[in-house]
Amino acid sequence: MNEALEPVALRAMLESMLLIRAYEEKAAAMQASGQAAGTCTSVGQEAAAVGVVAALGADDLILTNHRSAGHLLARGADPARLYAEVLGKSTGYCKGKSGSLHISAKELGVVLTSTIVGAELSLAAGVGLAASMQERDSVVACFFGDGAACEGSFHESLNLAAVWKLPILYVCENNQWQAFVHRRETMPMDQVSTWAAAHGMPVATVDGNDVEAVYRAAREGIAHIRATGEPYFLETYTYRQRGHYEPDDQGYVDKAELAAWLARDPIDRLQQNKQFSVVEIQTIQKRVAERIEAAWATAVAAPYPTHADLTADVYA
């Protein structure tokens, strides 16, 4: 499993990570300049999202949370439709009914996004149950953080998935922060996988800032799920570089810790990979920047929902 990835695959991962970074930084800048509401960015966690999503197949499903842009963009979401959602425009994936916090895109297999921390774990059990009942080959990837792991739904979900043998890839993005509280204040150990192992499923903790390592670990977990139909737990050990939401001055963050993690930035690390020339990286960065600017402009120009939309889509 340790063979080098194809250059083309790595290049695609780099571009995906750069797109996520540029998307989030633009969103934060637009908040700072008063042109958009606040968002919860995933800056610093791009490798964790891209590595896992790259290992998923077309029929696999994703559940995510309030820090979802990375998962959506890695899955191929149109940044213009994501920005439209941030701005409450009718062209968003959720017709402007979500805002930035709970974007689902069923057409991409990103379902039931909830911002209630821990809900994704509860709902993933049902999505996995349906896949199992319908004898589909789908793996259900459920992204959540170390904060959600402290919710009761974490244990309820892992227990049910283990007992009912549900095809769920639990992906804990351990980003060290639970809103404004450091993980070390809320958990007795450093790794969430310790808890997961107690539920009787195979677990792995991987350097979440190394996209190749994340990809390989996810592929291994997915292979296990496809072979057995049973759940697998993958922890991507990473760091939330920005605040809980925008704006957040991060006055509560230990500067030395932040600096140490910035030195391990997942995008810098991948760019240092000798496979990429400076020109190549600049070309990708330029393409990404143009795409983000165009996406923002498209979203700004898009229409708002009409008053008639206020009462639409409550009941089926």
Partner 1 sequence: MQNLTINDAIGQAIAEEMRRDPSVMMFGEGVATKRHELLNEFGARRIRNTPLAEGIIAGAAVGASTMGMRPVIDLLFAPFMTLAMDELVNSAGKLRYMSGGQFRFPLVAMAMTGTGWTVGAQHNHNLEAWFVHSPGLKVVMPSTAADFKGLMKSAIRDDNPVLFFIEMAMAYETGEVPEGEHLVPLGKAAVRRAGNDLTLISYGKSMRACETAASQLAEKGVFAEVIDLRSLKPLDEDAILASARKTGRVVVVHEANRMCGVGAEIAAILAEKAFDSLKAPVLRITSPDVPAPSSYPLELAFAPQADAIVAAAESLLAPTAMTSRPVLTANAG
Q: Which residues bind partner 1 (CB under 8 A)?
A: 61, 92-98, 102, 104-106, 111-114, 116, 118-119, 121-131, 133-134, 152-153, 156-157, 159-160, 163-164, 312-316
For partner 1, which is the closer residue by CB, 101 or 234? 101
Q: In whole angstroms, how close is the CB of 162 to partner 1 at the nearest point?
A: 11
Q: Which amino acid is at 277?
A: S
Cβ closer to partner 1: 152 or 200? 152
- What is the closest distance, in whole angstroms, from the C-beta atom of residue 36 to partner 1 in the complex? 19
Nearer to partner 1, 159 or 250 (CB): 159
Tell me the closest approach of the beta carbon of residue 107 to partner 1, in angstroms. 9
Kindly tell me which of 93 and 296 has the beta carbon lying closer to partner 1: 93
User: Of 12 and 129, which CB lies nearer to partner 1 in the complex structure?
Assistant: 129
- In the complex, minimum distance from the CB of residue 299 to partner 1, in angstroms, rounded to a whole number: 15
Minimum separation from the CB atom of position 306 to partner 1 (A): 13
